[in-house]
Amino acid sequence: MKKIIFNKLIRDVFKFFLLISLSLSLIIWVVQAVNFLDYISEDGHGFKTYFYITILNFPKIFSRIMPFCIFVSCFYILNKYEVKNELVIFWNIGIKKIKFINILVLFSLLFLIFQIFLNTLIVPRSLDEAREYIRKSNIDFFPSLIKEKKFIDAVENLTIFIESKNEDGELKNVYLKDQIDKYQSQIIIAKNGKFITKDNSNFLILNNGNFIDIEEDKITSFAFKKTEFNLSKYVTTSTTFPKFQEIDTNFLLECLYKLKFNKNFILSSYLISCNENSEGDIKEEVFKRVIKPLFIPVIVLIASIIVLYNKDYFNYSRIQYTLFTIGFFTIVLSEISARYISNDFMPIIFITLPILIFFASYFYLLLKLRVKI
């Protein structure tokens, strides 16, 4: 009997968690997908790149809202059970409240393990895949970005200006500036031109114009009747450099170990530098992935405190609001903690914070239930 009703409780919490977490994740995902339209409208990427990036960002969204959804699920189901007098069944068959709460806390450990798995493996890999796809993608929609009488710099080191464009895609009075390096650039001026696609690459065919090569103080110029300008060698202005949230967890941990103990071992090859300048950002990212999930048992324990009171208690509504506020504040505290983890004096405090809050809450439960320690 006890096993059956506990299974029902766990199923109800888990089903409500799936419902609320997937619903919120999809809403946030859709909103973020709208923001990602800039990859098409401003950076010239194709729809394939857009959909690939948006899908790969879903694990990050789900992971970020997990703690809040877990807290709301436990809090809602326990209150629902109390209103429907279902919690009375647990007490009538001899289940002690402290055991009831212990079961919920043990159940929360599954969420803890799952979020650490998401944070350390799935999310960094999916975000890195999205960034890699941007690096390798072509600027498929670049021709559609060209507007009349407007300077376009959607690709790096290249600026294009046209006076007009007709319905057939023919360009009139074209100006291009190709910044080859810091001291050398090339300007192309043509009376007309047109974009074409050849071998899955974009080319700009220019007619009747001049090349102007600028190298420091030296300027040379020569005319042409027709030239073919290959756009495939240019990369998008979209950020292709990886962020710390996209870096493999093993690399971050190895880097912190090296910086802490000054070990001269070779780190895995990556696009970021392991040095003192990046130490603060790396600490923050490791905290988010490994330490922040430890707040999950804490917020489940806070939500479970509601079972100490019944709905007939004269201050029951106020207790509900108070516990929800405390749980919400704890989630916010877990987010804020990551920002201060790089401070020399703060890491130990914030790393031990979830453990301290957990034992303080549990000690409060023991006092209220008058359980001998």
- Look at residue 321 in the predicted model and tell me its pLDDT: 92
- Look at residue 235 in the predicted model and tell me its pLDDT: 52
- Tokens at residue 4, please? 């059956």
Identify the DSSP state of 312: T
Per DSSP, the residues of 73-99 read: HHHHHHHHHHHTT-HHHHHHTT--HHH
- Tokens at residue 203, please? 């080319």
Report how far residue 197's alpha carbon sits from residue 182's, in angstroms, rounded to the nearest whole number: 30
Pairwise pLDDT comparison (46 vs 187), residue with the higher score: 187
The residues with which 161 forms a beta bridge, in sequence order, are: 175
Burial degree of 16 (CB within 10 A; 0-12, 13-18, 19+):
middle
- Look at residue 232 in the predicted model and tell me its pLDDT: 65
Q: Mean pLDDT check: name the lowest of 139-143, 151-155, 328-332, 335-339.
A: 139-143
Per DSSP, the residues of 24-52 read: HHHHHHHHHHHHTTHHHHTT---HHHHHH
Report how far residue 240's alpha carbon sits from residue 155's, in angstroms, rounded to the nearest whole number: 12
The pLDDT tens digits of the residues spanning 163-187 come to 787 777 788 888 888 777 777 788 8
Please work out, in degrees rounded to the nearest 5, the angle formed at the alpha carbon of residue 111 by the alpha carbons of 249 and 348.
Answer: 55
Is residue 344 predicted with pLDDT exceeding 70?
no
Residue 243: C-alpha distances to residues 34, 204, 276 (Å): 21, 33, 17
94-104 per-residue burial string, b: 16 or more CB within 10 A, e: under 16: ebebeebbebb
Q: Residue ranges of the domains in the chain?
A: 2-136+241-369, 142-230
Helix, strand, coil shares of the chain, percent, nearest 5, are 60, 15, 25
Per DSSP, the residues of 182-232 read: SSEEEEEEEEEEEEEEETTEEEEEEEEEEEEEEETTEEEEEEEEEEEEE-T
The pLDDT tens digits of the residues spanning 180-218 come to 777 778 888 888 888 777 766 677 788 888 888 887 777
CB-CB contact of 256 with 218 (8 Å): no
Report how far residue 220's alpha carbon sits from residue 294's, in angstroms, rounded to the nearest whole number: 65
The residues with which 197 forms a beta bridge, in sequence order, are: 202
Pairwise pLDDT comparison (226 vs 241), residue with the higher score: 226
| Chain mean position to CA 264 | 32
Residue 66: CA atoms inside 13 Å, Cβ hemisphere, count? 26
The pLDDT tens digits of the residues spanning 98-121 come to 899 999 999 999 999 999 999 999
The pLDDT tens digits of the residues spanning 261-310 come to 765 555 554 556 677 777 778 888 888 888 899 999 999 999 999 988 88
CB-CB contact of 188 with 210 (8 Å): yes
- Look at residue 303 in the predicted model and tell me its pLDDT: 93
Question: What residue type is 197 in one-letter code?
Answer: T
The total of other beta-carbon atoms located within 10 Å of residue 25's CB is: 20
Report how far residue 125's alpha carbon sits from residue 141's, in angstroms, rounded to the nearest whole number: 27
Report how far residue 285's alpha carbon sits from residue 39's, in angstroms, rounded to the nearest whole number: 26
- Place 242 in a pLDDT band, splitting at 50, 70 and 90: low
Is residue 68 predicted with pLDDT exceeding 90?
yes
